Chain A
Amino acid sequence: MYDHTTLPTRMPWTSLATVVGVTALLVVGLLGTVSADRAALVGVATGVLLALSLWLSGWDSWQAVGTVLASVLALPVAVGLSVAIGGTVASLGAELFPAPSQAGIRPAVVTLLSQVFVVIGCLTAVFGATAATRGVVDTERVGAYGGVVVRTTAVPFAVALVLFTRGAVDFLQSNAGTPGIQQLTGEVLSRVLEPIFDPVPGRTHIAIFSLLLALAAMALARGIDALPLSELVPETSDAPDVDRAIAAVGRTLRWTGRLALLVAPVAGLFELGLGQESLAGLLPVGLYELIVTVTAAPGLRSLLWRLFLIGTVVTVAVWFLRRTVQSSADRVGTVLAPYVGGGVIALAVVAVAGPAVDAIETTLRATPAAPAVEQFFTPILDVYGPETVTLAFVVVALFSVTSVTGQLWVALATSYLRERTAGVTLAAAGLFGASAFAATLSTPTWLVLAGLVGAVVVWDAGSFGTTLGHEVGTGAATRRTELVHTGGTVGIGGVGAAATLGLSAVARGSIAVEPSVAVAGLVVCLVAVLSLVAAIR
């Protein structure tokens, strides 16, 4: 039989229906045990969205569109992930704390953690089952999606960084008068920034002015060089000789820059070494006053700074455009799309920052963390503003998506997760974990056992179906075998569940004697080791 067949590896419909149906039933049952309904529902939706994003990022026929959508969906996925976990913690925290007594803290923590794990498990299960329908979890696709999320995060991260830096600088400068470390930092900042943008009037500042002039001239020269001015002028005999004019301007700017760069240290030496009086004595009065006026003018400084920025921006933009036109449209779309998506996300976040921050604050105030809100959150909000804070939240959430994607990629790249069965394995693992943690809540025993057996059935039906699809294709009639196989697995699971109930009844009788439970555990471990040996053999 050909193991290198190129048939599509999609699993047959019966297996797929088993995977999706069992997962859906168990997720509904398990989420019923979680008190934080809304967060749980958001978690389920996030699982579906994450699978959809993965599919979109590998959409070959509409690569650019798929990348844009995956990039824009990164925000709902990130927010959903945060809300599912954070929301569960917050809503249960409000419910369970403060604990009535010291002894009540441990059970409360266990309940809280169990519910969070049930939500995470269900999210993973929904993601895995959804991904398994199209077989979208593979190294290449996950890598591509990771790249999209990282590039999407770049813009909000940069904007958040700029806003944060501005807020920090403003805050520290405003604190120059207050004692302590803030005063020191504020003074240092004032000392660095004031001579550049707001010099002391009535004296010369030739050195710093020359440096600024050199920077602005060099940047402008580079910008003019980069612009395709001569290409834009028609090649007719009566057209103006633009080339020569541009070359002259460029040369002048470059020489101005070099000259200013040479003047700066010399002037600095003179200014520091001789002092203002000697300098005034050396130079004619008119010239000295002119130099004082020019070099100390804040407006001129600001103009030079802006010219420097414009030159740099033009150079970078033209370089980027030149690279862009050399690439194919699809490639450009794919590469640019995440940045555009990131830009859209940043704008959207800035637009809804106020209400969002209010909502977060209200939610947090309802939890036992209310004093911390008062102590930390409100002052931060006062200093940095709601936009920066919301952007920071979003960036952290996007980083969490990047981290999840990265972990998935590592698991796939190291073959801990096989590409072919990754979706069903994740679904089964999620269901198994959720069922195990649901056992510690007030979940009926049948649901826990059904969850554990169902998780195995999901994995078995999925991996069996995938192998079947790989070997005989979806065009062949396979339903009978699939049903027989799944029936066998369910039957064995039934035997396992009966054994569990029997063992559990024995354990319940001996629950008063704790060491006996430990002995039972040891016996089970022994059986596990023996089975391991048998399986390896």
Chain B
Amino acid sequence: MHRRVRRWSGGLAAALFLVSVSLLTAEPLLLAATAIPLIYVAYGALLRLPAGTDLQAARTVSDAQPTPGEPVAVELTLTNTGRSSLTDVRVIDGVPEELAVVEGSPRLCTSLRPDESATLSYAVMAKRGTYTFDAAAVRVRTLSASDEVTVDLTVAGDGTVTCSNTVSEVPMADATLPRAGTLPTDTGGSGLEFHSTRSYQPGDPVNRIDWRRYAKTDELTTIDYREEQAVRTVLVVDARPPARVTPEPGFPTGAELSAYAAERLFDALSRTSVVASVCAVGLAPEDVPGGLGPDGLAWVDASGGHAAAHARQIFDSVGRAAARQSDTDAAGDAGASEDAPPHQSRSEAARVTTADGGTIEDPALLAVLARLPPTAQVVVFSPAADDWPVSLVSSLAVRDYPTTLVSPSLARGDSLGAAVASTERVARLQRAELSGATVIDWDLDSPIDVALRASLADLFSV
């Protein structure tokens, strides 16, 4: 797009002003000085962009497949392939709107001689999903800035950043049970692994009698094997508005990180055939394709068909809710209250007793407790930005559910606010641990897999 900018026409007014003052004060120098503004007018009017202006751009991305929360360095090189010098070249790289620039600026203004290049370096914060860079916007001006051309320049090189986890990457196999779909217990019975021996009691299966011992000692003894019970694992993702906090702009929110950790674990469990259900708390009906259940929860059972696809939809919904939250942040707390799940009426809400004897009337908490199957392990994913996950964990402890709390640590920076938030979170995690849950404190500097591997062995070997 070509445009003329009339920025020097004020010179005519200046010339007329000088003529007036000159006539008023009979000063010939001022009359001659009208040459100054007039020459500027001519400068603006006559200078044009040279024909054959040509630019080329190439982009390199340091890591095209980063993990969420990792800064990705981007470099855009602009080369003047035309024959004339360009005194004023402005370029804005087409950074995807969703990605925040965390270092440097994706904008540059420079002068380029023929065959000279300029490089623009910046970094964006990776988020879950695939993002494509747009064409770079380039504006070239003359020296007098009175003639300009704006174009969308197609950029060669890297154009996409994909930030997702694929099943093949999951290093979780060694962290979970070698025997698929079962949880070994401390009670003896039928199974594969030896547990103990005891005196024969009438009715014991014949194939469990220790015949060798009978041959040696003439005593009937029954062998007990370690009983293996099928168990369900429920992954609860805390996506309520309080969990959608972010330590700095462009960084994934606590809810998104929780969903990410849950997705990693879900993939690992799927590979080992553990029956895993996924539940997200705090989503609005419009976030989830197909809406929420009647109890206000987004719940996917492994027993249904296409469980993995449905679970992935839920994880994506958390990202959508977080994006919507950042859009409506300006609207204040009103948006947050809309995000709350449909509340049950107070009369329905039975009081729930926690480990410390307190009572809770949170509808989301009640819905989770009501929906949990009687035998299940529960893994709660929450940034622990408020007391809700602690209440949930202690309520689960009261009901004898083996519980794990996975909490991404969001505190970054040295600000006073970050320090207070971090201290509060540590206190919450301690309370969760005291109530009997296994707590995984995920420091974002290390991959979630490392944190999970460190603790999951405990989880699956009760």
A interface list, Cβ under 8 A from B: 1-2, 110, 114, 432-433, 436-437, 439-440, 445, 448-449, 452-453, 456, 459, 463-464, 467-468, 471-473, 475-478, 480-481, 484-485, 488-489, 492-493, 495-497, 499-501, 503-504, 506-508, 511, 517, 520-521, 524-525, 527-528, 531-532, 534-537
Contacts and interface: CB of A to CB of B under 8 A. Distances in A.
A536 B45 CA distance: 9
Contacts of A467: 145
Contact of B16 (A484, A500, A527, A528): A528
Contacts of A481: 87-89, 109-111
Interface string B119-131: 0000000000000
16 contacts: A448-B33, A452-B33, A456-B36, A471-B92, A471-B139, A472-B90, A472-B108, A485-B145, A500-B29, A500-B32, A501-B32, A507-B32, A524-B19, A524-B35, A534-B45, A535-B41
A488 B143 contact: yes
Interface in B50-103: 87-90, 92
A500 B36 contact: yes
A452 B109 CA distance: 29
Given A2-B137, A481-B109, A445 B28 contact: no
Nearest to B35: A499
Given A471-B139, A475-B105, A492-B43, A436 B17 contact: yes
A443 to B, nearest CB: 10
Given A476-B109, A496-B35, 4 more contacts: A2-B92, A456-B40, A471-B139, A484-B111
A485 B17 contact: no
A440 B27 contact: yes
B12 A468 contact: no
Contacts, number: 179
B107 interface: yes
Nearest to A492: B43
A456 B105 CA distance: 31
Nearest to A520: B31
A477 B27 contact: no
Contacts of A527: 38
Given A432-B14, A439-B30, A528-B12, A475 B104 contact: yes
B8 interface: yes
B97 to A, nearest CB: 11
Contacts of B110: 477-478, 480-481
Contacts of A437: 21, 25
Rank and list the top 3 A-B pairs by shortest CB-CB distance, nearest first. A503-B32, A496-B36, A475-B105
Contact of B9 (A114, A468, A478, A535): A535
A471 to B, nearest CB: 6
A274 B30 CA distance: 85
Interface residues on B, range: 35 or more
Contacts of A534: 41-42, 45-46
A477 B109 contact: yes
B115 to A, nearest CB: 17
B272 interface: no
B36 A453 contact: yes
B185 to A, nearest CB: 60
Contacts of A499: 32, 35-36, 39
Contacts of B11: 456, 531
Most buried by A among B107, B139, B143: B107
B88 to A, nearest CB: 5
Contacts of A472: 90, 92, 105, 107-109
B144 A488 contact: yes
Nearest to B18: A436
Contacts of A1: 90, 92, 137-139, 150
A249 B145 CA distance: 79
Contacts of A478: 108-110
A448 B29 contact: yes
B34 interface: yes
Contacts of A507: 28, 31-32
B363 interface: no
B44 interface: yes
A531 B38 contact: yes
A119 B275 CA distance: 86
A528 B38 contact: yes
Given A485-B88, A500-B32, A524 B139 contact: no
Contact of B41 (A500, A501, A503, A531): A531
